[in-house]
Amino acid sequence: MSDLPLPADLFTGAPDPLLQREWLVTNGVGGFASATLAGAATRRYHGLLVAADPPPNARWVLVSGADEFIHHADAPEIPLSTQEYDGGVLHPAGYPAIAAFTLRGQRPVWRYDTDHGSLEKTVWMERGRNRTFVRYTNHARHLLRIRVRPFVSLRWFHALRRGADASFEALQTGPGSLSVRADGGAPCIHLGGSSWRVELRSDWYWNFHRRVEQARGFDYTEDAFAPADFVAEVRPGHGVTLQLAADELQSASEVDASLARFDSRTASLAASAADPLEQRLRLAADQTLVHRGPSLPGFTPEPNTVIAGYPWFGDWGRDTLISLPGLCLATGRASTAKTILLNYAQAIDQGMVPNRWPDAGDEPEYHAFDAALWFTHALAAYVRATDDTEVLDVLGTALLEIIDWHIRGTRHGIRMDPDDGLLTGGEDGLQLTWMDAKFEDWVVTPRRGKPVEINALWYAALKFAREAFARIGWRDAFDTSLLPLLEDSFATRFWNPDTGGLFDVVDGPDGSDPAIRPNQVIALAVAGDLLSPQQRSSVLVQARDALLTPVGLRSLAPGDPAYCPHYAGGPRERDGAYHQGPVWSWLLGMYIEASLKAGAPADELRGLREAMLAHLHEGVVGAVSELFQPEAPFAPEGAPAQAWGAAEWLRGLRLLRAANGR
């Protein structure tokens, strides 16, 4: 099994390194468990059980954390956990007891060394179920008493709980078990298990401080209900498992079987990976693949969508389809890719793919210029990787629908300009490309007109459609004379001789936009044959000099009047900077592909691999962050576990390996 141990110098007794790093465990249906390595919840989304009900987007923080103590004989209790309260107060302050942390496969493992002896803790979840297991194993030479006090929140995951507004009811259901319910629609939580003793207390804890939320400009103070202490005496070499479940508690043998299944599955996911970095990226990618639909007994459904990023994103069409080649095809999970494509094809409407599925109820939203084009890109990647032409008998109609609607026009002014074959689109108040930041009525990067990567994707879609329809005998399905028109138009309209790169948008409200952005690199990756070898080389030199960092591409070149060198502040400041400088992890895969297609030696890109591996020790350990600060040392930002970041790093890594002939 792939282990990722953190360096020993992080465990020196200082709190910040452990409060700045996080762990994440997922359950395959959108639920998860997550917190800092120290134990404190610094985000509103942290929790030992964040349940998805219904999956995958309606999520509830059922248990936000826990105080943990160990005790031996007549000596005082020693805290293992850390909580932060308003004013920066850490209490208890158990972080000095943490001697080591290892991500063992997908399972976080802590070692605590105290005057009472050594203890190991680990966390896992049941796949397809809203169940978290926390196991404590005694490595001391004598009996240890473990006391755990869970903090029950039972709230919507975007909200914070204040005790004055809550009505909680706790009911002891057995010697070692307890159930808690509250008003507000959250699922009931069941806690405990065999070997535990419940000591009822029913206390409220006030003014937990969520420091990351404060930094992001959101509400940051929370209260939580502590219904009881769970106490167990654990002999040397033995363990005890605290269960947190939204359905029912399991027997001890079922808990052991759950752990064995969790580890066995993790080992199988990483088994065929070429090296430790690929193993880690495969495991990070797997956490984002989920099933939309009810979790049932004997859960085995194939994942059919992707959580764009933990802890706050749901499944987004654009993110899912950009991620699909890396998450599925680069990991040997072609059947999952096919399932996702078939699932999304059912939701195509007026030639558009939903970009956002709601958290709960309501209808999906169709507000992405490019989601349908990324669908065709993912379908092309799948067919070329598998030679599965039978899928075209099913999805050929969807492909033709996308092309037809884009030619004649669909929502939001999206249509083909008959004069040059290029796609144009946009409306006031909308942000339709992947650079989609908006604060209230302010669209930060509207990109109205003819965006460069949109038209590269459009050309690639038509090329694939011509190839695909010929293979299944659909003659004259669409007008293939559009392709030479597009080739001529792209080369003449997008080339900017003044910069030696591509315009970001042409025919916009203010003409053509010469801003140096990574969208031209995306265009080069998906349709590099639209440019001459000299033009491709020039675009890459520009991107390398102005945009490239070790962990991705900046979203805007330094020196541009709109460039933001810092990503910080409240929602307005962050949304305003989102695509105006910050580094995006997913663009690294596009840069690698574009570079290799343009003939760059793979050795020139070797340093990127080391940067990938180094990042897995920060943020959410073992995951890939959404963003990084645009200036060195490129600290991680945004959602700390992002699907398309993991997907594109994995795909880029495999492209590099193939280019090196191994």
Q: DSSP string covering 355-380, please?
A: SB--SSSS--B---SSHHHHHHHHHH
Does 650 lie in the same domain as 528?
yes
Question: In this structure, what CATH number is given to the domain that contains residue 640?
Answer: 1.50.10.10
**Dist. CA 190–CA 478, nearest whole Å:** 58
**Dist. CA 23–CA 508, nearest whole Å:** 44
Does 331 lie in the same domain as 217?
no
Task: Note every long-range contact of 506-515, with CB atoms under 8 Å and residues 24 or more positions apart, other chains counting.
Answer: 506/422, 506/449, 506/450, 506/452, 507/417, 507/422, 507/424, 507/449, 507/450, 508/447, 508/448, 508/449, 508/450, 509/448, 509/449, 513/447, 513/449, 515/556, 515/557, 515/560, 515/562
Does 263 lie in the same domain as 359?
no
Nearest alpha-carbon partner for 205 in 81, 348, 103, 374: 81
Number of domains in the chain: 2
Is residue 641 domain-resident? yes
Spell out, as residue ranges, where the chain has pLDDT lower than 50: none
- Residue 1 has what pLDDT? 55
Range of the domain at 387: 302-659
Q: Provide the terminal-to-terminal Cα distance of the chain, rounded to the nearest Å.
A: 22
- Residue 272 has what pLDDT? 85
- Residue 24 pairs in a beta bridge with 34
Question: In this structure, what CATH number is given to the domain that contains residue 55?
Answer: 2.70.98
Structure tokens, 583: 């580094």
Question: pLDDT tens digits for 477-519?
Answer: 899 999 999 999 999 999 999 999 999 999 999 999 999 999 9
Does 220 lie in the same domain as 322?
no
- Residue 74 has what pLDDT? 86
Last residue of a domain, one of 219, 245, 267: 267
- Calculated CA dihedral for residues 562, 563, 565, 567, nearest 10 degrees: 70
- Residue 430 has what pLDDT? 93
Q: Is 197 exposed, middle or buried (0-12, 13-18, 19+ CB in 10 A)?
A: middle
- With residues binned 3-state (H G I as helix, E B as strand, rest as coil), the percentages for the chain, rounded to 5, are 35, 30, 40
Q: Is 254 exposed, middle or buried (0-12, 13-18, 19+ CB in 10 A)?
A: exposed
Does 628 lie in the same domain as 560?
yes
Is residue 280 domain-resident? no
- Calculated CA dihedral for residues 537, 541, 547, 551, nearest 10 degrees: 80
Nearest alpha-carbon partner for 516 in 538, 542, 498, 553: 542
Does 563 lie in the same domain as 425?
yes
Peptide bond into 509 cis (omega under 30): no
Structure tokens, 92: 């208890």
Question: Could you tell me which residues come within 8 angstroms of residue 324 by beta carbon, excluding any fewer than 6 positions away?
Answer: 306, 337, 340, 341, 378, 381, 382, 647
Is residue 337 domain-resident? yes
Does 533 lie in the same domain as 396?
yes
Is residue 553 domain-resident? yes
Is residue 523 domain-resident? yes
Does 367 lie in the same domain as 489?
yes
Residue type, 497: P
Is residue 296 domain-resident? no
Does 262 lie in the same domain as 327?
no
Does 309 lie in the same domain as 238?
no
Structure tokens, 439: 């604060």
Q: Write out the DSSP string of 23-39.
A: EEEE-SSS-EEEEETTS
Does 307 lie in the same domain as 260?
no
Structure tokens, 647: 């997907």
Structure tokens, 531: 């440019």
Is residue 288 domain-resident? no
Nearest alpha-carbon partner for 545 in 516, 582, 586, 525: 516
Q: How many CB atoms lie within 10 A of CB 175?
A: 11
3-state secondary structure 294-359: CCCCCCCCCCCEECCEECCCCCEHHHHHHHHHHHCHHHCCHHHHHHHHHHHHCCCECCECCCECCC
Q: Please, are residues 338 and 388 in contact by the beta-carbon 8 Å criterion?
A: yes
Q: Is 340 exposed, middle or buried (0-12, 13-18, 19+ CB in 10 A)?
A: buried
- Residue 13 has what pLDDT? 86
Structure tokens, 485: 């028109």
φ/ψ bin of 265: left (φ > 0), alpha (ψ from -120 to 50), beta (otherwise): alpha
- Residue 349 pairs in a beta bridge with 352
**Dist. CA 264–CA 280, nearest whole Å:** 16
Ranges of H-type helices in 13-148: 16-19
Does 120 lie in the same domain as 12?
yes
Q: Is 302 exposed, middle or buried (0-12, 13-18, 19+ CB in 10 A)?
A: middle
Is residue 70 domain-resident? yes
